[in-house]
Amino acid sequence: MLARVILSGMLDLDFDLADPANFAAGIPHHLFAPIREADGLAWSKDSAYGRGFWSVTRHADLVEVSRDAAMFSSELGHIQIYDIDDDVRDARASMIDLDPPVHTRLRRLVSSAFTPKHVQDYAAVIDERVCRCVDAFVANGGGDWAQLVSNPIPIGVICDIMGVPDADHDFMIELTDHLVEGTSAAELDPSAYGNTRPLRELPFNSPAAFGLDDYARRARRTVIDAPRNDLISKLAVVEVDGEQLSVTDFARFFQLMIFAGNETTRSAMSHLAMLLAAFPAEFERIGLDRTLVDSAADEIVRIASPILYFRRTATRDTVLGGTPIAAGDKVVMWYCAANFDDTVFDDPLRFDVARTNARAEVGFGGGGIHFCLGAPLARMELAAVIREVLDRGLRVELAGDPVHVESNFVNGVEYLPLRVVACN
Ligand code: HEM
């Protein structure tokens, strides 16, 4: 049971909620439930992550923070719990770390490529990749779903869109894996990928960020000489308000898209397979009524909450959820807690593919200017896997214990051994 002190209008936590070990077996619902149910917000004191922070765990509070970028800044502090030094903030920032007006300008550059209508253009590519990966898994009688299915599909799709050749996809996965290590307790080799910069200047404090930056700069040079029909080529020459993207902004964009398009969606795909193993009857329901595919995809994102949190920093004194917040305070939005708020979702721990308000999930963010750019694409990828599973009558069971990524930031699955128990 949690030991904690309850003060007026807030909870003073006397354990380290952000300790990656708490997430070693997935979302620690037993830690979040009492915090969500108590009055006010919960306070975590100063720790290895720097200054203390407020935890937002209720759906309504999270939506409020997400939609008020003027009050809750992404740029002022950092979007992860740990602090970064003021002098390196600019060097690390991509669109997701910025406030308007710069955020608005950068988002406009890429938003048209990811609208629900536009992502339909990628449907055939997605279906083809999903079919090929599930083929390999089935032919094998099963195996590590993370390795065979979840890892290759999202990176393949985002790389197809960006214009990264197939031969480099494994390298992109490797770099993303190392970025995630920056959110765990793992030791990093600072000089990996030829890194010469101090880690504190790099996103995720990871030399893999240097590797991605270096790759992006080389890719840019290639397409400037010989443009192709892909996003890299467009971003290399695009003009906003009469200006081109600087080489640095281009490289940061590349890094953000590769990380955001890959890490999150592959983790949702592994959760999809774990849910298939645990609740085959729910997938039978979708088989009987294919109109449930869309709500099922959102329900999977809700249950998975692939990004556990993002942080904002208060720009002014305010009150949130009944708790006074001071200017400069860190405010952490735990998507993995708000997605299980029983004032919004009936019986929240239950996987229900026909949940009528599945779209209210906040796995892609709680709305507002930073709402996930790739949500339509990710939903399409998940829907493609669900349809492939149903078309094949695929049933699986666990063939061992899954291994979760030990991170307080992503709800990733490193290893997911499954056995095929039925297939048409
Ligand atoms: C299941 C898969 C995914 C999940 C759970 C997810 C989750 C999120 C979350 C929580 C945010 C921050 C929202 C906020 O701060 O309000 C975000 C932002 C973002 N996501 Fe995703 N994402 C997913 C897939 C993708 C994909 C496939 C792409 C590729 C295009 C992508 C690109 C982005 C970008 C570029 C941002 C930053 C948007 C901005 O700052 O304006 N995401 N995502």
74-77 contacts at long range (C-beta below 8 A, 24 or more positions apart): 74/98, 74/99, 74/103, 74/310, 74/312, 74/313, 74/370, 75/99, 75/103, 76/313, 76/315, 76/328, 77/311, 77/312, 77/313, 77/328, 77/330
Q: What is the mean pLDDT of residues 140-166?
A: 94
For tokens 């699986």, the residue is 396
Q: Which atom of ligand 1 is nearest to the CA of 306?
A: 5
Q: What is the pLDDT of residue 182?
A: 57
How far, in Å, are 31, 35, 196, 408 from residue 3 at the CA level?
11, 11, 44, 20
Q: Is 164 left (phi over 0), alpha (psi -120 to 50) or beta?
A: beta
Nearest CA to ligand 1 atom 41: 370
Q: Which atom of ligand 1 is nearest to the CA of 110?
A: 35
DSSP summary character for residue 245 = P
The pTM assigned to this predicted structure is 0.94
pLDDT band (50, 70, 90) for residue 220: very high
Residue 286 Cα to ligand 1 middle (Å): 26
Q: Which atom of ligand 1 is nearest to the CA of 379?
A: 1
Q: Which of 22, 19, 40 is nearest to 31 (CA)?
A: 22
Which domain range does residue 62 map to?
4-422
Site residues for ligand 1, CB cut-off 6 Å: 66, 95-96, 107, 114, 158, 256-257, 260-261, 264-265, 268, 301, 306-307, 310, 335, 363-365, 368, 370-374, 377-378
pLDDT digits (tens, 9 = 90+) for 15-25: 999 999 999 99
Q: What is the pLDDT of residue 2?
A: 44
Query: Minimum mean pLDDT among 128-142, 166-180, 216-230, 345-359: which range?
Result: 166-180
Q: Residue 420, Cβ neighbours under 10 Å: how many?
A: 18
Query: Minimum mean pLDDT among 149-163, 197-211, 215-229, 329-343: which range?
Result: 197-211
Residue 375 Cα to ligand 1 middle (Å): 7
pLDDT digits (tens, 9 = 90+) for 303-342: 999 999 999 999 999 999 999 999 999 999 999 999 999 9
| Ligand 1, pocket-test mutation among 294, 372, 379, most atoms within 8 A of CB | 372
* Number of structural domains in the chain: 1
E-state strands within 51-92: 53-56, 72-73
Instruction: Sort 205 into a burial class: Cβ within 10 Å, 0-12 / 13-18 / 19+.
Output: buried
Separation of alpha carbons 369 and 263, rounded Å: 21
Q: What is the pLDDT of residue 88?
A: 80
How far, in Å, are 126, 230, 268, 287, 401 from residue 421 at the CA level?
25, 40, 22, 17, 17
The domain that holds 132 is classified in CATH as: 1.10.630.10
Nearest CA to ligand 1 atom 19: 372
Separation of alpha carbons 219 and 156, rounded Å: 17
User: Contact at 8 Å (CB) between 333 and 309?
Assistant: yes
Q: What is the pLDDT of residue 186?
A: 59
